[in-house]
A and B are shown apart, each in its own frame.
Chain A
Amino acid sequence: MNLHNIKLAIRNLKRHKLYSILSITGFSVGFAVCIFIALFVYNELSMDKCFSGYKNIVRVYDPKENNCSLDILLNQQFKEKYPEIRYACPLEQMSDMEISAKSGLNFTRFTGLISTTNDFFNVFPVKTISAIGRLPFEGKESILITKSFAAILFPNEDPLGKPITIFDFIKGQVTAVIEDFPKSSSIQAKVLINAENPDFRLSQNCNNGRCWSPMNHFLVLQTKTDFAALAKKMTADIPKDHPEIKTIALQKLTDIYLSAPINGNGNITGNLSLLFIFLSVGLVVLVLSIINFLNFYVSLQYTKLREIGIKKINGASFKNLLRFSLAEVSVSILISVAISLVLFLIFLPFANQLFERNLEASWLLRPALLSVLILITVAIILINSLAPISILSRFNTSSFLTKMNVGGNKQTGRRLLTLMQFAASIVLLAVVFSLQKQISYAKHANLGFSKEQLLLLKLPIGFKSQDAFKQKIKELPLCESVSLSRGVPGSVNLFMGDGKSGKTVMLQTLYVDEDFFKTMEIGLKSGRTFLPGDMGNACIMNEEAVRQYEWADFEGKRFENGREDGYQVVGVTNDFHIESMHTKIKPACMLAAANDRHDDLRNVSIRLTQGNLSQQMDELRAVWKTFIPDEPMSYSFYDEQFEVMYQKDERLGEAIGIASVIALILTFMGILGQVFQISLNRTKEIGIRKVNGAKVSDILAYMNKEFLIWVILSIILAIPLAIYLINKWLESFAYKTEIGWLTYAFAGLIMLTTVVLTVTLQSWKAATKNPVDALRYE
């Protein structure tokens, strides 16, 4: 019985080739997108679940101060005072910075440095591969490296016992090689240093003359510990000895990844809103493809009304028809699922690039994911086979056999589905166009300084001959101008407040030399640039700073940062961007660095002359080599540096762009199927119209008219939604371009063109048919 149905279903597919190809490919694409999104969501939700006992691992933080960097000394207290705590480890991470590592002649840069103790391995079971002693950290100077990092820094050597220098000032020896961190861990590192050694801690906080090393604290609790009760107990104890801590709360390890980052967080963080965006875009595409499939399948049923009538007369019950419909839909859907799996495998590397994740095909076999996908498939099969049958069983049997175009015009439900398809496509298109417009605006906007032909060299920590280095570069023909500074547009990490004046304004602070403004081409609004006598005692502020200080005039004002003797304000620059367009320009202050304190100025900005870039780079490398023979030249271009700031936005644009192209294709196929069915249903009507003198163009116009109404309706529906979504996204930019009605009009126009083209192409056949053939039909 069922075999019989399946045989017939396959025969049916072969007979209606156009329908089959359109519906199956459409659904395959939709389902492939669905698989990708499912995998992505699975990845995001299973973060940190690779650690056994993850349910009992928590991080301590202070919710009042929104801070999770707490005194390292707490570790001892955690271990001794609370029986609920099985293990505790202090952990400080440096995860967003390139760090140099040296051993003998070998040199490399890496990201991911952790300062911790042997307790780490109690909390996070990362296996030790080989070690000198019993424990991974043996001795104050001990440093651990991961297996893959060992292969880079010590190719073909045994790293154990070798000396290693991190950052120029952390000098130790490798005491153990450990496994790489699991990919789904939000803690990632290549090098671990021993936090027992105060010199191996990465930062220090001071308050009221008391200083401490801030650390993240991870705890493993006894099973069934009441988190809230424990946190309450800690809040009662800890602030007594640590006045900087107000309250204590515990955050689950698995919650860290998708939560808004707490200050002092070093874990990799995901992005909850990005997750929702991907999820909803994926759902939209899936729904569109289901609508598409349903549209095709229902219209196929309409062409087979007679067949259904015959079956009913021959004794087919509703159940029989449903079973056949199920078989038919299952065959199509299962073929689609198979194709989508192939598509998935083909595009997986591309998707990984887009998502910046390491999704693996084998995850599909994990029970959680597999069952979800099977459930979705079954649900889709049921929806698609029940809907058309319930529509069709409404009709009277004898009308199946006589009136051939039953329900040809009364398909409001299906038209509504089409309306949704149109609207979704328009929204996606409008969003993509707006995204692109804003990103291109952000990339090409005037930053207040000239970022073209501008190169940045980063000198290593500990380098001392800045002036000689600058002099050497100045002499090169490639150099139009060169400047030393601490902090440059794109990366300023120093904030200073004015201790003396009435208002506290935090200023982004740069130490610069006298050539800075000339090299960067930052325009002065008033005042003057630095003169030789200004060095060490003058500063220049930006307009925003003057605005925030509410100064009528900068003349005679001083900036007292409390460290040096204060700086006389000698000029005001135009506002220029230090950060991306996402953030508003902040008040900034350029301090004239004292001539004897150039050691801190590790950024060398060089304005290049027009010329052969690779030759210029070679010349620069030669100079670098004479000063810093051990390290390769570290450099970047300003324009690239600023473009990188919009990578996330661009990736989002790319993802939505792909989704909108798929949506457009699906919609296109949907219209094709509908027009096909309509022209089939109305062959006779078209024939009659032609016999009565209708021209081909009249018939095309007549066929188009019906769809145009729906397109216009969908535009009206889509535009408010698109405007809402775009404005939501634009909120993340402090500086934004006007999107303008043209963008929306363009999205609508594309939809309109697609529809008109499809309808015209498809109905051309029906319109040019000889009416005699059409009317002979029964």
Chain B
Amino acid sequence: MLHLSNIDKYYDSKFQRTFVLKAVNMEVKEGDFLSIMGPSGSGKSTLLNIIGLLDQPSAGEYSLYDKSVLDLKEKVKVDYHRNFMGFIFQAYHLIEDMTVYENIETPLIYKGVKSRDRQAMVADLLDRFNMVAKKDLFPQQLSGGQQQLVGIARAIVGKPKLLLADEPTGNLQSVQGEMIMETLKTLNQEGMTIIQVTHNEKFAEYGKRIIRLEDGIIRKDEKS
């Protein structure tokens, strides 16, 4: 479903060109669970941002379902964000002014889902993640693991095909981290394609496939 070929990302300063990604080739199939690993500064997050249409590659080709998604108009990009992919982050990135319920509801509002349908969809997820009692709390009143659950709920409430996770367990204790990874695994088993960036060898193993990046170059691409 997703095809990257010869992706470069670099920054030009006066006298030199610094490469963050170099000649990255990658293919992701529907139903895949991909872990991207690598030390700090190896370009993992940049790669994920490019996949998530949050950043532009400096050179190369990127297509989704054989359709190039480079140089998209803002409107089309918004459409992809609304209907095709969901994001989760290391810092959760919940909106602090909104309750748990409202945070999860946000993407549906932007999608234009009707109020009654929204209620049903959010209630479903709250139920699934055992958070019904916490729906009126604000993010800062929850533990890190719970906040990340809300983050996942928000990412998947719009039923995206692709879930992008940027170090989803980076701020969590290992027990909570495992819980999050189990959740992702279940989602993958239900058919969702997932790409995660992680530092943690153990959590990378949850993926069906691990890509190892070093200095912007793919060193290894192996089934786990």
- A interface residues with partner B (beta carbon < 8 Å): 1, 4, 8, 11-12, 15, 306-307, 309-318, 320, 396-398, 401, 778
Contacts and interface: CB of A to CB of B under 8 A. Distances in A.
Contacts of B54: 313, 396-398, 401
A316 B89 CA distance: 18
Given A4-B109, A317-B75, A311 B95 contact: yes
A307 B81 contact: no
Rank and list the top 9 A-B pairs by shortest CB-CB distance, nearest first. A315-B82, A398-B54, A315-B110, A314-B107, A317-B78, A315-B81, A398-B49, A310-B93, A397-B54
Contact of B81 (A4, A314, A401): A314
Contacts of B109: 1, 4
A11 B97 contact: yes
A310 B81 contact: no
Nearest to B75: A317
Nearest to B52: A313
Interface string B92-121: 011111100010001101110000000000
5 contacts: A11-B97, A313-B81, A314-B154, A317-B78, A401-B54
Contact of B106 (A11, A306, A309, A314): A314
Interface string B30-54: 0000000000000000000100101
B216 interface: no
Contact of A307 (B82, B87, B95): B95
B74 interface: yes
A4 B101 CA distance: 13
B124 interface: no
Interface of B: 49, 52, 54-55, 74-75, 78, 81-83, 87, 89, 91, 93-98, 102, 106-107, 109-111, 154, 158
Nearest to B78: A317
B106 to A, nearest CB: 5
Given A397-B54, A398-B49, A401-B89, A315 B95 contact: no
Q: DSSP class of A's interface residues: helix, strand, loop or mixed?
A: helix
A312 B106 CA distance: 11
Contacts of A310: 93-95
B97 A316 contact: no
A398 B82 contact: no
A713 B87 CA distance: 47
Contacts of B111: 315
Contacts of B110: 311, 314-317, 320
B78 A315 contact: yes
Contacts of A401: 54, 89, 93
A4 B106 CA distance: 10
Contacts of A778: 91
A202 B42 CA distance: 101
B205 to A, nearest CB: 27
B98 A315 contact: no
A710 to B, nearest CB: 31
Contact of B55 (A307, A314, A398): A398
A8 B158 CA distance: 21
Interface hub of B54, B75, B91 (most chain A Cβ within 10 A): B54
A401 B88 CA distance: 12
Contacts of B49: 398
A194 B198 CA distance: 102
Contacts of A318: 74
Nearest to B105: A4
Nearest to B166: A401
Nearest to B151: A310
A778 B170 CA distance: 12
B55 to A, nearest CB: 5
Given A315-B110, A316-B110, A8 B97 contact: yes
A514 B84 CA distance: 107
Contacts of A1: 109
Contacts of B154: 314
A316 B95 contact: no
A1 B118 CA distance: 12
Contacts of A320: 110
Given A313-B81, A314-B110, A315-B81, 12 more contacts: A11-B97, A307-B95, A310-B95, A313-B52, A313-B93, A314-B106, A314-B154, A315-B107, A315-B111, A317-B75, A320-B110, A398-B55
